[in-house]
């Protein structure tokens, strides 16, 4: 399969990290009188100190490590070849950081669940600036626990089931617009618009159109600069993203002030954030609310859009599966007389569609891995992970391991007729930092698939193979496709 890997953003990010290292050291020296951070071993010192206890593997060239190898080939091949040579735990050096990669269910559970307190989530500072330092996924401890509980409650089944008619309206409008164009559309980009609108609905409930439009415009600018070289020179993509982030803060500040003045108890995420009280009666600042809103939007958009794009590709490539999904969804449509909205119970009873979704998530493995950082020297199965080293649980390697999923490169939804073994299928992550919005994401998938296969047809245009990374994997060129109304559906009077 042809693989297109977007390497430039990652190489530039590595170079920026390397070039900024002296300035980072200077800043740390200036802060020496504040509360001292935990001591960390320089990775070369750690390597010498634990020479016989570090996991096997190669650290590559000085400074650059194995970054060129990672981003000059299919990342799947890079990780898989390392695992084949060294086993389920191995070391490397990428993006300026010494790393230990783990690719067994037991090791992933050790890092993310049973010993999660020994590791912390880690992200580049450039990305924290764009989303906001108070966003939930940049934190651990009490703050993270309290915010996660709040986000989960606002996106739990009890909360989102009432939004089904509104999500259906967004899906129907999106599909109608793609079909009415009569031209080829970038499926991934259109799915991003759809998931953004659902995210806005989940966060704000019904939001004034003027606010919705200006939020969308500025968020798109932020999104385009998120994976760009973090250059603050005016005119660069990253600088434009920073400016858009400031505007988003001002816009969200206006919305927050309006909501606070109304003093109404809302069930949407914004209402939950505004009504939050900790054990001491403390509330969230406007900046903390804004950071978490943007964080949720970011987390919800690209991953859901990527999943939907892959599902469309797999259904397009497997006509028998598409026919089975369509038959299942047509039965539900006819049950509703072609007019009534889906019910929550119906979205919970789509077994064929559900298995297609699960297999799509396994095959695509949109979250291929995650980053953690060791807070202390950690020993695991005789190896030492030194304090300060990055740890990367490799979800994709596990999802494509033939020991857990026979013939893993074959798209076979029937494999999910039996539940997978524990800790072998983690499309939404695992542990305290797993995706708190997974129920909303699945609901979006069910609703859009229902309306798509019962009322529309689509054909993929151009090459049907290849993957691009930006940073999440999506079909080549965003899966260019042409959508049209299903005339057979219209003749049966099953369409609205």
Can you give the pLDDT at residue 48?
55
Q: Which of 166, 187, 169, 170 is nearest to 178 (CA)?
A: 187
Give 215-263 as a DSSP string.
Answer: HHHHHHHHHHHTTS----STTSHHHHHHHHHHHHHHHHHHHHHHHHHHT
Can you give the pLDDT at residue 73?
65
Can you give the pLDDT at residue 278?
82
- Find the helix packing angle between 438-455 and 164-181, rounded to 10°: 50
| DSSP state at residue 141 | H
Please classify residue 38 by burial: count the beta carbons closer than 10 Å to its beta carbon, then call 0-12 exposed, 13-18 middle and 19+ buried.
exposed
Cβ atoms of 383 and 111 closer than 8 Å: no
Give the integer Cα–Cα distance in Å for 221 and 409.
Answer: 36
Name the stretches of the chain with pLDDT < 70. Answer: 1-52, 71-73, 264-266, 464, 470-471, 488-496
220 belongs to an annotated ligand binding site:
no
Cβ atoms of 146 and 305 closer than 8 Å: no
Q: Could you read off the pLDDT of 284-316 as tens digits, one per residue?
A: 999 999 999 999 998 888 899 999 999 999 999
Domain boundaries, given as residue ranges, for the chain: 1-132+367-399
Can you give the pLDDT at residue 140?
84
- Find the helix packing angle between 438-455 and 187-204, rounded to 10°: 130
Beta strands 97-102 and 390-393, pairing class? parallel
The residues with which 475 forms a beta bridge, in sequence order, are: 467
Phi–psi pair at 469, nearest 5 degrees: -120, 130
Q: Which of 381, 411, 391 is nearest to 399 (CA)?
A: 411
Quote the tokens at residue 486: 């299903």
Can you give the pLDDT at residue 49?
57
Q: Could you read off the pLDDT of 5-51 as tens digits, one per residue?
A: 344 444 444 444 444 433 333 444 443 343 334 444 444 555 555 55
Give the integer Cα–Cα distance in Å for 384 and 124.
Answer: 24
Indicate the CATH number for domain 1-132+367-399.
Answer: 3.30.43.20
Cβ atoms of 298 and 131 closer than 8 Å: yes
196 Cα distance to chain centroid: 13
Can you give the pLDDT at residue 34?
38
Helix, strand, coil tally for the chain in percent (to 5): 55, 10, 35
| DSSP state at residue 57 | B
Instruction: Please identify which residue in the block is written with the tokens 């080549």.
Output: 476
Give the integer Cα–Cα distance in Å for 98 and 494.
Answer: 58
């Amino acid at each position: 399969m042809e693989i297109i890997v977007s390497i430039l953003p990652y190489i530039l990010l590595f170079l920026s990290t390397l070039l900024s290292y002296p300035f980072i050291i200077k800043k740390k020296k200036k802060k020496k009188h504040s509360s001292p951070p935990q001591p960390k071993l320089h990775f070369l010192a750690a390597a010498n100190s634990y020479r016989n206890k570090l996991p096997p593997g190669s650290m590559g060239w000085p400074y650059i490590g194995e970054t060129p190898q990672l981003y000059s080939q299919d990342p799947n091949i890079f990780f898989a070849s390392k695992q084949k040579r060294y086993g389920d735990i191995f070391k490397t050096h990428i993006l300026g950081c010494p790393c230990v990669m783990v690719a067994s269910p037991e090791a992933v559970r050790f890092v993310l669940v049973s010993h999660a307190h020994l590791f912390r989530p880690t992200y580049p500072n450039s990305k924290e600036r764009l989303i906001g330092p108070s966003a939930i996924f940049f934190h651990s401890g009490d703050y993270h626990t309290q915010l996660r509980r709040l986000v989960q409650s606002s996106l739990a089944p009890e909360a989102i089931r009432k939004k089904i008619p509104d999500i259906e309206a967004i899906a129907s409008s999106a599909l109608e617009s793609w079909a009415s164009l009569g031209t080829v559309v970038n499926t991934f980009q259109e799915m991003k618009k759809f998931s953004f609108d659902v995210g806005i609905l989940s966060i704000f409930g019904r939001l004034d159109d003027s606010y919705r439009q200006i939020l969308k415009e500025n968020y798109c600018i932020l999104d385009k600069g998120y994976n760009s070289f973090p250059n603050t020179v005016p005119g660069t993509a990253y600088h434009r993203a920073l400016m858009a982030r400031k505007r988003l803060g001002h816009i969200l500040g206006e919305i927050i002030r309006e909501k606070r003045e109304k003093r109404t108890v809302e069930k949407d995420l914004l209402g939950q954030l505004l009504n939050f009280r900790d054990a001491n009666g403390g509330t969230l600042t406007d900046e903390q609310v804004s950071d978490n809103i943007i964080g949720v939007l970011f987390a919800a958009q690209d991953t859901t859009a990527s999943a939907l794009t892959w599902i469309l590709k797999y259904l397009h490539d497997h006509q028998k599966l598409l026919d089975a999904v369509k038959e299942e969804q047509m039965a539900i449509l006819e049950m509703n007389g072609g007019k009534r909205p889906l019910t929550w119970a119906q979205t919970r009873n789509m077994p064929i569609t559900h298995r297609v979704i699960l297999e799509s998530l396994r095959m695509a493995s949109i979250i291929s891995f995650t980053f953690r950082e060791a807070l202390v020297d950690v020993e695991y199965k005789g190896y030492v992970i030194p304090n300060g080293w990055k740890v990367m649980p490799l979800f994709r390697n596990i999802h494509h391991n033939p020991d857990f999923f026979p013939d893993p490169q074959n798209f076979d939804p029937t494999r999910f007729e039996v539940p997978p073994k524990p800790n072998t299928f983690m499309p939404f992550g695992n542990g305290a930092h797993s995706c708190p919005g997974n129920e909303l994401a699945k609901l979006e998938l069910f609703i859009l698939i229902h309306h798509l296969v019962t009322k529309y047809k689509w054909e993929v245009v151009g090459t049907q193979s290849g993957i691009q990374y930006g940073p999440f994997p999506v079909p080549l060129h965003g899966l260019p496709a042409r959508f049209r109304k299903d005339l057979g559906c219209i003749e049966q009077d099953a369409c609205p």
